[in-house]
C-alpha cells in the first residue's frame, strides 16, 4: 500500500510506539549510569512501561504476521514488506526483553556492596 493511502491513525500508532521505545531506552541508560535527575523516581516506571509496550505489541504482531504471510488471505493486504515487518517485530521483542533485563539486573559492578560496608554489617552482629 503506498504511503499516501495509509490511514493517519497508523502514523499516530507508530509515533506512540517510537516515543515509548525512546523513553524506555533513555530511562534505562539513566538508571545504569546513575545520573541524578529530578525524574529519578519515574525512571523505573518509564523503563517498565516502554519495554512492556515494545514486547507486548510486537509479541502479538509477530505470530499474526508469520501466520498470515504464507496463508495470503484474500481480504488481508499488508501495508509494508512482510520480511521487514517480521525483522522489526523480532528486534522489538528482543529489545523489550533486554531493556527489562537491564531494569531487573542492572549493572552488577556498580550495584555491588563495597567491602568496607559489608565488613561493617558483619561487625554489627558480633558481640564484644
CA–CA dist 90, 86 (Å, integer) = 6
Residue 53, pLDDT score = 87
CA–CA dist 4, 11 (Å, integer) = 11
Kindly list the averaged pLDDT for each block of 10 residues, start to end, along the chain of length 128.
69 86 85 72 84 88 84 73 87 89 70 48 54
Nearest to 13 by CA among 51, 45, 46, 53: 53
Residue 52, pLDDT score = 87
Q: Specify the pTM.
A: 0.67
Retrieve residue 104's grid coordinates. Answer: 531487573
Are the C-beta atoms of 78 and 23 separated by less than 8 Å? no
Nearest to 54 by CA among 83, 27, 25: 25
Tally of structural domains, the chain: 1
Boundaries of domain holding 110: 3-124
Amino acid at each position: 500500500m503506498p504511503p499516501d493511502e495509509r490511514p493517519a491513525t497508523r502514523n499516530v500508532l507508530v509515533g506512540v510506539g517510537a516515543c515509548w521505545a525512546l523513553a524506555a531506552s533513555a530511562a534505562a541508560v539513566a538508571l545504569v549510569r546513575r545520573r541524578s535527575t529530578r525524574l529519578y523516581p519515574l525512571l523505573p516506571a518509564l523503563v517498565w512501561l516502554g519495554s512492556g509496550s515494545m514486547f507486548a505489541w510486537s509479541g502479538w504482531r509477530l505470530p499474526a504476521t508469520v501466520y498470515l504471510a504464507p496463508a495470503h488471505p484474500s481480504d488481508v493486504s499488508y501495508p509494508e514488506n512482510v520480511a521487514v515487518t517480521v525483522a522489526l517485530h523480532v528486534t522489538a521483542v528482543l529489545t523489550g526483553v533486554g531493556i527489562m533485563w537491564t531494569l531487573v539486573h542492572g549493572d552488577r559492578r556498580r550495584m555491588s556492596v563495597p567491602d568496607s560496608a559489608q565488613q561493617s554489617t558483619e561487625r554489627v552482629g558480633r558481640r564484644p
